[in-house]
Chains A and B, each alone.
Chain A
Amino acid sequence: EVQLLESGGGLVQPGGSLRLSCAASGFRFSSFAMSWVRQAPGKGLEWLSVISGSGDITDADSVKGRFTISRDNSKNTLYLQLNSLRAEDTALYYCAKALKTSRTDAFDIWGQGTMVTVSS
């Protein structure tokens, strides 16, 4: 079964950091681009960052310089390092698999999400 499982969310103070992980199973992880998408409480979806199977990265302007996507293909795991967190970063963070190999493909598999709450 194709599956994505996020972890690493939690409560953090403004200015703090977190590292999110997304463990993949059931597919050839290294062949597919992977993205992070977030959803603030009661709001819509916001794409954050994508990394190709070979490591090419594109970020949304809203997170450039603060969030860093990475992957370890040997561990079938995707990461998102979140630094300088702000209250407006409070959201459910999803990892999502690209349908095909392109970084811009639609997202065919999503994890269940991990909640990040930024508050003092």
Chain B
Amino acid sequence: EVVLTQSPATLSLSPGERATLSCRASQSVSNYLAWYQQKPGQAPRLLIYDASNRATGIPGRFSGSGSGTDFTLTISSLEPEDFAVYYCQQRNINNWPLTFGGGTKVEMK
């Protein structure tokens, strides 16, 4: 099983600041990594798939990068609605089960 480790667990930032979230895989997942945003009481929302592709309707301030075992989600300038929990997920067909990271909470400073 591929273990995804997200860091930091909590990120305290102010609106307008840049957020950098990390996801590290226990073995290579190629570029088969997705990022989701979840707000309280809501279902997760797909932000990024295959490491760097923005999903439909996702603002340009969200970007993803990385391959192999190290991945990054960057929010270039935080908007008030971006304060949420973010999860990474790997989908490498050679690495069942599909797994999620433990999440990073982006909170307002």
CA distance in complex: A113, B42 (Å): 9
Contact B43 A112 (CB under 8 A): yes
Whether B71 sits at the interface, judged by CB under 8 Å, is no
A45, A58, A110: most-surrounded residue (chain B CB, <10 A)? A45
Main secondary structure of the interface of B (DSSP, over half): loop
With A104-B92, A106-B34 as contacts: A44 and B87 at CB distance below 8 Å = yes
Q: Which A residues touch B5, using CB under 8 A? A: none
Query: For chain B, which range describes its interface: under 10, 10 to 19, 20 to 34, or 35 or more residues?
Result: 20 to 34
B50, B56, B87, B98: most-surrounded residue (chain A CB, <10 A)? B98
**B85 CB to nearest chain A CB (Å):** 8
Contact A45 B100 (CB under 8 A): yes
Contact B91 A106 (CB under 8 A): yes
Whether A34 sits at the interface, judged by CB under 8 Å, is no
Contact B43 A102 (CB under 8 A): no
Would you list which residues of chain A between 62 and 109 have a CB under 8 Å from chain B? 94, 99, 102-108
Contact A110 B98 (CB under 8 A): no
CA distance in complex: A112, B44 (Å): 9
Contact A94 B100 (CB under 8 A): no
Whether A111 sits at the interface, judged by CB under 8 Å, is yes
Task: Give 12 A-B pairs besides A35-B98, A60-B97, A110-B44 with Cβ atoms closer than 8 angstroms.
Answer: A44-B103, A45-B89, A47-B89, A47-B98, A59-B97, A94-B43, A103-B93, A105-B49, A106-B89, A108-B46, A110-B43, A111-B43
What are 20 A-B interface contacts by the 8 Å CB criterion?
A35-B98, A44-B87, A45-B36, A45-B38, A47-B98, A50-B98, A58-B97, A59-B97, A94-B44, A99-B46, A102-B93, A104-B32, A106-B55, A106-B91, A108-B46, A110-B43, A110-B44, A111-B43, A112-B43, A113-B43
- B residues sitting closer than 8 Å to A (CB atoms) are 32, 34, 36, 38, 43-46, 49-50, 55-56, 87, 89, 91-93, 96-103
- A residues sitting closer than 8 Å to B (CB atoms) are 35, 44-47, 50, 58-61, 94, 99, 102-108, 110-113
